[in-house]
């Protein structure tokens, strides 16, 4: 149980060592044993730690590639400069204002930009970073290219250190909370995150604004230390420097970020004696590290004692016990939604639903009703448009025309997270777990709707936080226990056996507490025995959780035995609907799907 890659927790020994080093340094400084130059370097180390750790929130934890961090630092620095020069405000005030200014600009920029993914987002942030610099260069009140001088010099060595520690703790705490888990989920699989009800835009913008806030604070401290700032201190290269510190340490790892920010600030100072080679060695080192250890020095791991031990022991990645059978799950009740199941009203209804991709109509004029509490099957040849139907129902694809009604409410056009919040959960044909998270975290992410606390609580951690977290953990464990995954809580999802991954995906969907569960080929890749067990499981889930289940399946034996109603899709059109018996006999279905009798 030494594998907790995304679990962010502090190891006592590491904290102890860190504090010992801090105390030693501060003692030396306070006794005037350290010269001004070294204090300067140490302050820059702290500022770089703030920058790197705050960027880690955006790039590492939330997985949104931003390469314009220097722009936000610039906003912080200039805010401080302007306040200090014109109003002579004290540093504490400036810190706050600078953070808010940078965070606000981050929010404004993040809102439209974070719709973009991957490289495109990176380029957009690069563009914004450069534009901020060019604007500063051209405005008269920011001093143009010459910059601003005469900022109050404050001996902020201690304050800088303190702020670095605060930023580290804040990011650390966010990482280990429900909002943090939502962010990590976005990094792992944005689509899957949306389908468990995470408002991805909200959390991305939140991470972006907070990260920018941190950069603003760093800029403010920088301005007070340097007393003079100019636009060319905040170029693209500065952004890259921070990014490199982050990536070298390992994206997502806070200890890694601290370590490499320190290393990359201090190392060049030591390399001064070979000054002319310094700028060659530095990038060469970077390239070498990337080639031989592309996940960064620490990966997404946090350095702690247990981990060091596990590396030394070389624990095999797959040491799972035998998979247990899952027949006859305990009749334990988790959640009753309490509706009248005798009523035969449709929970889900589609009217004239169509979608086309690049001129090709993938689904044509689909009319369908799913009765509340029923087990409804959707079959059809590969490529008939079944998964496309699911994608429309869950808001992943926007239908070209037609309506989708869930409990009588129109949900077409809603984004996936709000569909999930309304009560539709799903699994995916090709299993989309958060592969690098533990089994437990996979479920806890989906419980995020149950976390009735916000970011402030996550950072301040009043008793309420602990209670909420304990509740989420115990609920998640309980659910896992029911599905015989209790022993695997700390296993990384990707290391689970195939069948267990499928079950975990169902558990994750159930954690959203849905009213309608969509299963996309749950039996794919299972043998006859596993399939049979799965059938029992699905039946049991439906009864126990008072669900309606709508499933796509190829395994005819499963569909025929399990479902009350089956719709047959072919070539994007519903060609038949009825009971398994009717489906089996219908000539159209036989022709399209089951095939003619072999002569």
Partner 1 sequence: MQPVFGFALFAVFVALIVVLARNKKRFPANPISSFFFGFIIVLLAIGAANYFMVAISANRLYFWQQTIYGVSLGSVYALIALGYTMVYGIVRLINFAHGEIYMIGAYAGFFGVTSLGFPFYFALIFAMLTAALAGVIVERIAYKPLRKAPRLAVLITAIGMSLLLQNVGQKIFGSIPRSFPRQFTGLYRIGEINLDQSRVIVFAVTFLLMVALQYFVTFTKPGKAMRAVSQDRDAAQMVGVNVDRTISLTFFVGSLLAGAAGILVAIVFPQIRPTMGLMPGLKAFVAAVIGGIGIIPGAVLGGLIIGVSENLVTAYISSSWRDAIAFGLLILILLVKPSGILGRNTREKV
Partner 2 sequence: MLKVTDLHVYYGGIHAIKGISLSVKEGQIVSLIGANGAGKSTCLNTICNLVNNSKGKISFLDRDITSAPPHKIVKLGVAQVPEGRKVFPQMTVAENLDMGAYVRKDKSGVRHDMGKVYKLFPRLLERKNQLAGTLSGGEQQMLAIGRGLMAKPRILLLDEPSMGLAPLLVREIFSIIREINSLGTTILLVEQNANMALSIANYAYVLETGRIVLEGEAKVLAADEKVKAAYLGG
- Residues at the interface with partner 1 (CB under 8 A): 65, 111-113, 115-116, 118-120, 122-124, 126-128, 130-131, 134-135, 137-138, 144-145, 191, 236, 240, 243-244, 247, 251, 276-277, 279-280, 282-284, 286-287, 290-291, 294-295, 357, 387, 391, 396-398, 413, 428
Residue 360 touching partner 2 (CB under 8 A): yes
Of 169 and 290, the one with the shorter C-beta distance to partner 1 is 290
Least distance CB 380 / partner 2 (angstroms): 10
Tell me the H-state helices in 449-527: 455-460, 463-482, 498-511
Of 172 and 428, the one with the shorter C-beta distance to partner 1 is 428
Residue 320 touching partner 2 (CB under 8 A): no
Residue 382 touching partner 2 (CB under 8 A): yes
Least distance CB 143 / partner 1 (angstroms): 13
Residue 190 touching partner 2 (CB under 8 A): no
**What element of type H or E holds 582?**
helix 580-585
Residue 584 touching partner 2 (CB under 8 A): yes
3-state secondary structure of 429: coil
User: Among 145-153, 285-293, 357-365, 403-411, which window interacts with partner 2 (CB under 8 A)?
Assistant: 357-365
* Beta carbons within 8 Å of 221's beta carbon, 6+ residues apart: 43, 46, 47, 50, 95, 156, 159, 160, 163
What are residue 517's DSSP bridge partners?
425, 549
Of 157 and 593, the one with the shorter C-beta distance to partner 2 is 593
Q: What number of residues does the chain have?
A: 599
CB 517 within 8 A of CB 425: yes
Contacting residue, 523, 534, 538, 541, with partner 2 by CB under 8 A? 523
Least distance CB 15 / partner 1 (angstroms): 29
3-state secondary structure of 546: coil
What are residue 314's DSSP bridge partners?
none
Tokens 């399946």: give the residue: 553
Residue 137 binds what, of partner 1, partner 2, none (CB under 5 to 8 Å, by partner type)? Answer: partner 1
Give how far Cα 208 sits from Cα of 57, 59, 137, 183, 384, Å: 8, 9, 24, 11, 40
Least distance CB 357 / partner 2 (angstroms): 11
**φ, ψ of residue 369 in degrees (nearest 5):** -130, 135
Residue 554 binds what, of partner 2, partner 1, none (CB under 5 to 8 Å, by partner type)? Answer: partner 2
Of 344 and 599, the one with the shorter C-beta distance to partner 2 is 599
Q: Name the residue among 215, 220, 211, 243 with its Cα closest to residue 110.
A: 211
Residue 31 binds what, of partner 1, partner 2, none (CB under 5 to 8 Å, by partner type)? Answer: none
CB 351 within 8 A of CB 403: yes
**φ, ψ of residue 300 in degrees (nearest 5):** -90, 5
Tokens 């810190």: give the residue: 95
**Positions in the binding site for partner 2 (CB under 8 A):** 318, 358-360, 381-384, 429, 494-495, 497-498, 521, 523-528, 530, 554-557, 570-571, 584, 590-596, 598-599
């Amino acid at each position: 149980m030494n594998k907790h890659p995304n679990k962010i927790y502090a190891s006592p020994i590491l904290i102890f060592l860190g504090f010992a080093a801090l105390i030693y340094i501060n003692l030396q400084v306070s006794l005037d044993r350290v010269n001004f130059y070294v204090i300067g370097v140490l302050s820059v180390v702290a500022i770089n730690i703030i920058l790197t750790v705050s960027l880690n929130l955006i790039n590492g934890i939330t997985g949104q590639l931003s390469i314009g961090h220097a722009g936000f630092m610039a906003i912080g620095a200039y805010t401080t400069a302007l306040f200090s020069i014109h109003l002579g405000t004290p540093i504490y005030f400036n810190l706050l204002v600078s953070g808010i200014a940078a965070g606000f600009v981050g929010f404004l920029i993040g809102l439209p930009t974070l719709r973009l993914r991957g490289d495109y987002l990176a380029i957009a942030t690069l563009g914004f970073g450069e534009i901020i610099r060019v604007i500063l260069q051209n405005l008269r009140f920011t001093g143009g290219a010459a910059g601003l001088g005469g900022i109050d010099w404050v001996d902020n060595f201690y304050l800088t250190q303190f702020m670095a520690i605060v930023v580290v703790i804040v990011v650390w705490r966010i990482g280990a909370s429900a909002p943090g888990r939502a962010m990590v989920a976005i990094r792992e699989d944005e689509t899957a995150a949306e389908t468990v009800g995470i408002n991805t835009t909200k959390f991305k913008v939140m991470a972006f604004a907070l990260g920018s806030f941190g950069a603003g604070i760093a800029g403010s401290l920088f301005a007070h230390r340097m007393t003079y700032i100019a636009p060319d201190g905040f170029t693209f290269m500065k952004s890259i420097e921070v990014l490199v510190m982050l990536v070298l340490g390992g994206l997502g790892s806070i200890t890694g970020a601290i370590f490499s920010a320190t290393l990359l600030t201090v190392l060049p100072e030591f390399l001064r004696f070979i000054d002319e080679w310094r700028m060659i060695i530095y990038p060469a080192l970077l390239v070498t590290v990337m080639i031989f250890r592309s996940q960064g020095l620490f990966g997404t791991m946090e350095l702690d004692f247990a981990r060091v031990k596990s590396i030394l022991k070389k624990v095999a990645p797959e040491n799972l016990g035998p998979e247990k059978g899952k027949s006859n799950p305990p009749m334990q009740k988790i959640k009753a939604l309490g509706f009248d199941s005798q009523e035969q009203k449709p929970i889900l209804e589609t009217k004239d639903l169509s979608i086309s991709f690049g001129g090709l109509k993938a689904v044509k004029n689909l009319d369908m009703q799913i009765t509340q509490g029923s087990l409804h099957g959707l079959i059809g040849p590969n490529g008939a448009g079944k998964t496309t139907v699911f994608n429309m129902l869950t808001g992943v694809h926007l239908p070209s025309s037609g309506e989708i009604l869930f409990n009588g409410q129109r949900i077409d056009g809603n984004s996936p997270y709000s569909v999930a919040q309304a009560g539709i959960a799903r699994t995916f044909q090709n299993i989309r777990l958060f592969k690098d998270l533990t089994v437990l975290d996979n479920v806890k992410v989906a419980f995020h709707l149950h976390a009735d606390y916000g970011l402030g609580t996550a950072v301040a951690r009043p008793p309420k936080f602990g209670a909420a977290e304990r509740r989420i953990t115990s609920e998640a464990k309980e659910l896992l226990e029911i599905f015989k995954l209790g022993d695997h809580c700390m296993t990384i999802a990707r290391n689970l056996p195939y069948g267990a991954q499928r079950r975990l995906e169902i558990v994750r969907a159930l954690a959203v507490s849905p009213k309608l569960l969509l299963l996309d080929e749950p039996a794919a890749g299972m043998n006859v025995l596993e399939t049979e067990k799965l059938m029992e499981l699905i039946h049991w889930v439906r009864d126990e959780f008072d669900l309606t289940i709508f499933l796509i399946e190829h395994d005819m034996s499963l569909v025929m035995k399990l479902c009350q109603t089956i719709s047959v899709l072919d070539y994007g059109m519903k060609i038949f609907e009825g009971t398994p018996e009717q489906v089996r006999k219908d000539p159209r279905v036989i022709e399209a799907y089951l095939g003619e009798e072999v002569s």
